[in-house]
Amino acid sequence: MANQTQEPVEARARRRLREIRTELGLTLQQIADRAHIDVSTLSRLESGKRRLTLDHLPGLAAALGVTLEELVGPSVPRDPRVRSRSRTCDGMTLWPLTHRGPSGGLGAYRIQIDPGRNSPPAQLPVHDGEDWLYVLDGRLRLVLGDEDLSVEPGEVVQFSTRTPHWFGALDGPVTVIAILGAQGERTHLHR
């Protein structure tokens, strides 16, 4: 990384634009749409092939959801520890194990499933993506289409979430590590 105190403001703003966009998991197209500029213009601004002027900064900062100071100022090292709070929903308590930007992407979770979560709903959820579950403790009940599976500690399941699915406890509490996409998180964890 360049010495931030000697780095010209324009170069620092371009670098911070790319860093923040990447941290948030946003594409050039998403930021261009939010900033109301052409994606090729944004690409040239970010790469230094076009001059970044003061006129560009307010719209880009707003598109990224940051202040002008955050965009042009020196980057502050982010604490690598994940300190998100647990959430409880629909018989599950989850602890995020990864940092996630607002655009989603994959996220890892430790999920504690209560014994009372043992019957699937009448209509099983379906969404885009894949789910990956590793059972740490207890016996997981996985209903996947017409199959009703028991997943034991140490076993892993990975499946397309376009197949109707649901997971819960068989005969006591269950602890899993899950990797879910943004749609899986919304479907399973935000009811």
Residue 143 has pLDDT above 90, yes or no: yes
pLDDT in tens, 10-47: 888 888 898 888 877 788 999 999 999 999 999 999 98
Residue 21 vs residue 184, higher pLDDT: 21
Q: Which helix (H) or strand (E) holds 184?
A: helix 182-189
- How far is it, in rounded angstroms, from Cα 105 to Cα 180? 8
Mean pLDDT (the chain, rounded) = 86
Q: pTM of the predicted model, to two decimals? A: 0.61
Average pLDDT for residues 97-104, to the nearest whole number?
Answer: 62
41 Cβ contact partners less than 8 Å away, ≥ 6 residues apart:
32, 50
Query: Quick one: pLDDT at residue 128?
Result: 85
Burial environment of residue 92 by CB neighbours within 10 A (0 to 12, 13 to 18, 19 or more): buried
pLDDT at 185: 61
pLDDT of residue 186: 60
Res. 97: pLDDT tops 70: yes
pLDDT per residue over 123-142, tens digit each? 999 988 889 999 999 999 99
- The residue-averaged pLDDT of 66-83 equals 78
Check: CB of residue 103 under 8 Å from CB of residue 76: no
> Domains of the chain by range and CATH?
9-72 (1.10.260.40), 87-189 (2.60.120.10)
Overall average pLDDT of the 53-61 stretch: 89
- Sign of the C-alpha dihedral, residues 122, 125, 131, 136? negative
Q: Which of 40-44, 64-68, 117-121, 168-172 has the lowest mean pLDDT?
A: 64-68
List for the chain the helix, strand, coil content (%; round to 5).
30, 25, 45
Indicate the pLDDT class of residue 68, thresholds 50, 70 and 90: confident
End-to-end Cα, the chain, rounded Å = 42
Binned at pLDDT 50, 70 and 90, residue 71 comes out as: confident
Q: Which residues of 52-88 are buried (b: 16+ CB within 10 A; e: fewer)?
A: beeebbeebbebbebeeeebbeeeeeeeeeeeeeeee
Q: Report the alpha-carbon distance of residue 61 to residue 57 in Å, rounded.
A: 6
Q: Are 135 and 153 in contact (CB under 8 A)?
A: yes
pLDDT tier at 65 (50, 70, 90 boundaries)? confident
Contact 39, 28 (CB under 8 A): yes
